[in-house]
Amino acid sequence: MNRGGTSDTTAVGLPNYNETPKPSRVLSPTQGGWLHDTGVVWVETSGDEVGIGTSSPGSRLEITSEAGLDGLRIGTSSAYEIKFTGTTSATNIYAPSTDIYLLAGAGKKLHFGSGGINSQVVLHYNGNVGINNTNPTNRLDVKAANATAIHARSGSANDYTAYSIGRTLIDGEWGVAAGNGQYSNFATAGDIILRAAMYAQDLILTARNSTGCIRFGTGSSDTEKMTILSNGKVGIGKTDPQKELDVDGTTRTEVIEITGGSDLAEPFEIRGQEYIKPGMAVSIDPDHPGQLRVARNAYDPKVAGIISGAGGIQPGIMLAQSEFKGESNYPVALTGRVYAWADASKCPIQPGDLLTTSETPGHVMKVTDNNLAQGAIIGKAMDSLEEGRGLVLVLVALQ
């Protein structure tokens, strides 16, 4: 390299201008460097810099391309493997037909940064990715001081949630409340909120598998508290609900409105007649404690109720103790409205008449002897039966 003004092109590996025959388009010496005869290549002799497309290289090798030309292509004359292109606003690395690999050595990390800031994204050698975190301990490990950690959205709405999901920011969102009332009026600091936001319609949680369940748990023990089975049955405190709502524990409410039945019933095991059907009057079975039998005596003081379910009226409330359940349990109405089988062959039945048991098994009749009826009244008739046997609507009220 020429440090004092003499020509020495061979020292920098350039064509010798004194060679015969002379090479075409060689470098020519100029003050402070060597210049290609078209001014394209500059070799700075004072600092060992090389410039291509610039006569004032600021680094060991600096390439400046003209508009419309790639800055650097690596490959053959017919096909390049990789090229570097750039504009005043962006720089591109492009491989038209191959993958691009950026590899760090064994036990080393790959760092990415922008805006003059190093390590904004780090690919750890264990495969974890860190965002603003140079030592990620999870597959994706994000640190965001006083900023949104993860924000997934489309649209241009202003960001005011920690996490958002949807076509726009206001479709759906979830976040961790930093203070009371954030994301929800009843939220407290530290709560996790999942909500369908301002313009969204419904919030849907679904398990698509035919046997899939939705399960909820709370508490430090992380035990299951509520379960929704694939058949729609809900269990609170029960993981295998048997009814549409199956609760293990105490239920408290101000008002219960029953729309599927009209009486309060309790299941009993009933003995006696081979043919037992809804609407029959039943009495306490003295030979089997806790069980009932079809009533078969007139003015029976052991009368207990009417088997519910006749005439299409089902029990509204069922009382049951698991240890009292038997194989032949029937719901017996203890109060409320039920249809009962009645016998009007001796006396017509009119609305308001007191009813008691009759000699016809399972049938009620009108009370005609008040003295005998003491303790044997099953309720009051709510419609009429002029003669024969049939169903009568009864308001059950044992007396």
How would DSSP label each residue in 145-173?
TTS-S-----S-PPP-SSEEESSSTTTEE
**Where residue 337 falls among pLDDT bands split at 50, 70, 90?**
very high
Question: Which residue bears the tokens 């030592």?
Answer: 135
Report d(CA 379, CA 399) in Å as an integer. Answer: 8
Name the amino acid, one letter, at 182: Q
Cβ(171)–Cβ(197) below 8 Å: yes
Residue 194 — left, alpha, or beta (φ > 0 → left; ψ -120 to 50 → alpha)? beta
Residue 152: pLDDT over 60: no
Supply the DSSP string of 198-218, one letter for each residue: TT---------STT--EEEEE
Cβ(378)–Cβ(306) below 8 Å: yes
Rounded to 10 degrees, the C-alpha dihedral 267/269/272/275 comes to 60
Query: Domains of the chain: which residue ranges?
Result: 9-63, 110-142, 214-247, 263-397
Cβ(293)–Cβ(307) below 8 Å: no
- What mean pLDDT comes out for the span 204-220? 82
Please state the separation of Cα 127 from the chain's center in Å: 28
Report d(CA 379, CA 316) in Å as an integer. Answer: 18
**Where residue 158 falls among pLDDT bands split at 50, 70, 90?**
very low
Residue-level pLDDT at 4: 39
| pLDDT higher at 159 or 232 | 232
Residues 6+ apart with CB under 8 A from 80: 73, 74, 96
DSSP 8-state class, residue 349: B
Name the amino acid, one letter, at 367: V
pLDDT in tens, 121-149: 999 999 999 988 899 999 988 887 655 56
Of 344, 335, 328, nearest to 392 by C-alpha is 344
Cβ(282)–Cβ(295) below 8 Å: yes
Highest-scoring range by mean pLDDT, 89-93, 168-172, 246-250, 301-305:
301-305
User: Percent helix, strand, coil in the chain (nearest 5)?
Assistant: 5, 35, 60
Question: Which of 36-50, 181-195, 251-265, 317-331 is predicted with the least confidence, judged by mean pLDDT?
Answer: 36-50
**Where residue 162 falls among pLDDT bands split at 50, 70, 90?**
very low
- What mean pLDDT comes out for the span 89-101? 74
Helices (H) then strands (E): counts for the chain:
1, 29
* CATH number of the structural domain 263-397: 2.40.300.10
For all residues of the chain together, what is the average pLDDT?
Answer: 78
Cβ(261)–Cβ(278) below 8 Å: no
Residue 163: pLDDT over 60: no
Report d(CA 43, CA 379) in Å as an integer. Answer: 117
Residue-level pLDDT at 118: 82
| pLDDT higher at 110 or 223 | 110
Residue-level pLDDT at 84: 67
- What mean pLDDT comes out for the span 230-236? 93
Q: Is the peptide bond before 331 cis (omega within 30 degrees of 0)?
A: no
- What mean pLDDT comes out for the span 246-258? 89
Helix (H, G, I), strand (E, B) or coil at 371: helix
**Where residue 99 falls among pLDDT bands split at 50, 70, 90?**
confident
pLDDT in tens, 377-392: 999 999 999 999 999 9
**Where residue 210 falls among pLDDT bands split at 50, 70, 90?**
confident
Percent of the chain residues topping a pLDDT of 90: 34
Helix (H) or strand (E) holding 122: strand 117-123
- What mean pLDDT comes out for the span 250-272? 86
Cβ(363)–Cβ(297) below 8 Å: no
| pLDDT higher at 358 or 181 | 358
Q: How far is CA 116 from CA 112, 113, 119, 120, 148, in A?
A: 11, 7, 10, 10, 21
Name the amino acid, one letter, at 97: S
Residue-level pLDDT at 21: 46
Report d(CA 291, CA 315) in Å as an integer. Answer: 19
Cβ(241)–Cβ(229) below 8 Å: yes
Residue-level pLDDT at 1: 37
Residue 249: pLDDT over 60: yes
Burial class (CB in 10 A: 0-12, 13-18, 19+), 52: middle
Helix (H) or strand (E) holding 17: none
| 373 backbone dihedrals φ, ψ, rounded to 5° | -80, -10
**Where residue 282 falls among pLDDT bands split at 50, 70, 90?**
very high
Strand bridging mode 315-318 / 263-271: parallel
Cβ(40)–Cβ(54) below 8 Å: no
Question: Which of 68-72, 95-99, 115-119, 318-322 is predicted with the least confidence, judged by mean pLDDT?
Answer: 68-72
Cβ(45)–Cβ(34) below 8 Å: yes
Structure tokens at 157: 């709405």
Residue-level pLDDT at 171: 53
DSSP 8-state class, residue 23: P
Residue 55: pLDDT over 50: yes
- What mean pLDDT comes out for the span 100-110? 87
Report d(CA 224, CA 235) in Å as an integer. Answer: 10
